[in-house]
Chains A and B, each alone.
Chain A
C-alpha cells in the first residue's frame, strides 16, 4: 500500500482566565493514531502548544477533539483545509457529542472507538468513497484490542514547564456504570465498565518514557477486584500517578499508595463529615487530594456555595478545582435544563465550565458567575495555585528520590514553558482571550 500522509490536529481552545497555565499531552489523538495502519505517515499538531502550518504537505486531515470548546475551532480549521482542497475527517469525544452539527463542517465524521475500524476509513478515502458518517456508537470493539498509544508523535519539549516534564495521560478502562448528572461518559463509552486486561495495562504503562502519569479513567472504583489486581501489578513500575476516585476501602487505598498514587480528584459536594473523613483517609495513606467542586446545582444558594468554599479550608485539600454546572449535550443536566427552558446560551465556545450558560434555580446567572470567581480567589488567596502545585510536585519528587526514580529537570528547557520563552516578570496564568 502507498504511503498516506495524514495531518492529525488537536484544535486549541481558550483557557480559563486567571488559572495557572499548563498543557498536558493529549490522549485522544495518539490513541486514534495507534489504530491506523503502518502505511499512514502521521504528522501531529497540538494547536494549544504550536501553530498549524496549513501549507504543510498532506493527503488527508484528521481532527481529534475532546472538549465542547474545541468544536468551533475545529470547524474553522476544516474550512481552511477545504480552501486547500483537502478532505477532513473528525473524531473524538466532542465530535460524538456534537455529531449532528459536525457533519455540516467536515467531510466525514467518525463516531465511536476506532480500534479495528480506522483502516476502512483510509481505504474508502483512497477509493474516493469516504462515507459521511462512520457510526460505531454503542458497538465497542473488544477492550483487549486497545493497545499502546502513539506517544512517539508528541513533541516532548512542548509539554515541559521550566525543565519539568508534564504527566502523560493513560487509560486503564473505558465505559462507566455510573450515569452522573453532568457527565456524558456513559453515552460515549457505554454504561458498562470495561477494564483493560491488567497485563496489557502493565505493558502499556511500562513503555511510557515518563515516571508521572494521569490515569484519566472516569473512576477506578467500579470493579474492586480488578482495581486491586491493577494496583498490585503496576506497583513494581514505580510510576507516580494522578487519578479520579479510588475505592474508599483501607485495603484498596493501601495498595493504591504502594502502587504510586500521587493525588486523586475527589468531588466535594457538601460539607459533611463523610467528605472530611474521605479526604483524611486519602491523606492517611500519603495520597494528596484535589477537590473538584461543582457550583450552580439546583439545591445551592449563594450562601450554600460560600459555605462549601469555606469548608474547603477545614478539610486540608491540596488543590481545588471549581467549575460551574454546564449542560453538555447527552447528559441528564442538558435534558433537564433544556426541558425547563433554562439554557440561554448555545455558543459552544462558552461551554468551558467556567462561564454560566444556564439559569440557576436559586440564584441569578451573575451571582453564580461571581461566586465561581470568588471560589477561585478565596481558595488560592493565601497560597497561589502554582505554589500549591509546586508543593505537590516536591512531595512526589521526594518519593521518587527515595525510590531512585527521580529524574532531574531538563536544564536545557529551564527557560522554556510549553515551547515559549519564560517571562519571569509575569505569573504563569492564563490571560483573557483578546
Chain B
C-alpha cells in the first residue's frame, strides 16, 4: 500500500494526536486566487495519526509552518489510489470545513473540481 509520489510535493511531519510523530503527503496549489492545501494519507508510511483524525490540528500545523491563514485556505484531504483491489482504497478528495458540525464537515469533490485544482 505504498502511496505514489505523484500525490505530494513533500512529506510533512506533524504532531499527531497525543503528540504521536506522524506524516502526510502535502501539496499546496494556488489556483484562481485561492490557496489549496492538499494533505494525503500515507497509510503504512504514516507511523501515527491519520490525516482525518488529526483534522484541524494538522491544518493549523501546516499553516503555521507555511505562513498561511487557516481562514483563507481551501483545505482538502486526499484518500490516494493505492491500486488495491478493495474499493475503499480508491482515490477520493474531500474539502474540509472545520467550522461545520461532524456530519457536514466534509464534501467530496467531483472529478471536474479535482482536475481544475490539480490540472489533471
What residues of chain A have their CB less than 8 Å away from a CB belonging to chain B? Answer: 99, 111, 133, 135, 137-138, 177, 179, 181, 187, 190-191, 297-299, 329-330, 332-336, 338-341
Residues of B in contact with A, size category: 20 to 34
Contact with A along B53-69 (1 / 0, CB 8 A): 10000000000000000
Residue contact A338 to B106, C-beta cutoff 8 Å = yes
Interface residue B94 (Cβ < 8 Å from any Cβ of A): yes
Residue contact A335 to B47, C-beta cutoff 8 Å = no
B28 to chain A, nearest CB (A): 21
Q: Bound complex: CA of A297 vs CA of B106, how far in Å? A: 21
Residue contact A332 to B18, C-beta cutoff 8 Å = no
Residue contact A298 to B53, C-beta cutoff 8 Å = no
Residue contact B20 to A339, C-beta cutoff 8 Å = no
Q: Bound complex: CA of A181 vs CA of B88, how far in Å? A: 8
Residue contact B87 to A299, C-beta cutoff 8 Å = yes
Q: Which B residues between 61 and 97 are near A, CB-CB below 8 angstroms? A: 77, 79, 86-88, 92, 94
Residue contact B50 to A330, C-beta cutoff 8 Å = yes
Q: Bound complex: CA of A141 vs CA of B57, how far in Å? A: 27
Residue contact B106 to A339, C-beta cutoff 8 Å = yes
B1 contacts across to A, CB distance below 8 A: 179
A250 to chain B, nearest CB (A): 26
B53 contacts across to A, CB distance below 8 A: 329-330, 334-335
Residue contact B20 to A138, C-beta cutoff 8 Å = yes
Knowing A137-B18, A298-B87 are in contact, say whether A340-B47 is a contact too (CB < 8 A).
no
Residue in chain B with minimal CB distance to A269:
B86
Knowing A111-B18, A137-B20, A332-B88 are in contact, say whether A339-B52 is a contact too (CB < 8 A).
yes
A187 contacts across to B, CB distance below 8 A: 49
Q: Bound complex: CA of A338 vs CA of B77, how far in Å? A: 13
Residue contact A338 to B102, C-beta cutoff 8 Å = yes
A210 to chain B, nearest CB (A): 36
What residues of chain B have their CB less than 8 Å away from a CB belonging to chain A? Answer: 1, 17-21, 41, 43-44, 47-50, 52-53, 77, 79, 86-88, 92, 94, 102-106, 108
B19 contacts across to A, CB distance below 8 A: 135, 137
Residue contact A191 to B106, C-beta cutoff 8 Å = no
Q: B1, B21, B86: which has the most chain A beta carbons within 10 Å?
A: B86
A138 to chain B, nearest CB (A): 4
A299 contacts across to B, CB distance below 8 A: 86-87
Interface of B is mostly: mixed
Residue contact A341 to B103, C-beta cutoff 8 Å = yes
Residue in chain A with minimal CB distance to B47:
A191
- Give me 13 A-to-B residue pairs in the complex whose CB atoms sit less than 8 angstroms apart, sorted by A's number: A137-B17, A137-B20, A138-B21, A179-B43, A299-B87, A332-B43, A332-B50, A335-B50, A339-B52, A339-B77, A340-B106, A340-B108, A341-B106
Q: Bound complex: CA of A332 vs CA of B20, how far in Å? A: 17
Q: Bound complex: CA of A297 vs CA of B87, how far in Å? A: 9
B43 to chain A, nearest CB (A): 6
Residue contact B47 to A338, C-beta cutoff 8 Å = no
Q: Bound complex: CA of A181 vs CA of B43, how far in Å? A: 11
A157 to chain B, nearest CB (A): 40
A335 contacts across to B, CB distance below 8 A: 41, 50, 52-53
Residue contact A138 to B48, C-beta cutoff 8 Å = yes
Knowing A338-B102, A339-B94 are in contact, say whether A181-B86 is a contact too (CB < 8 A).
yes
B21 contacts across to A, CB distance below 8 A: 138
Residue in chain A with minimal CB distance to B19:
A135
Knowing A135-B19, A330-B53, A341-B104 are in contact, say whether A190-B47 is a contact too (CB < 8 A).
yes
A138 contacts across to B, CB distance below 8 A: 18, 20-21, 47-48
A111 contacts across to B, CB distance below 8 A: 18
A330 contacts across to B, CB distance below 8 A: 49-50, 53
B63 to chain A, nearest CB (A): 21
B43 contacts across to A, CB distance below 8 A: 179, 332
A308 to chain B, nearest CB (A): 16
Residue contact B104 to A99, C-beta cutoff 8 Å = no
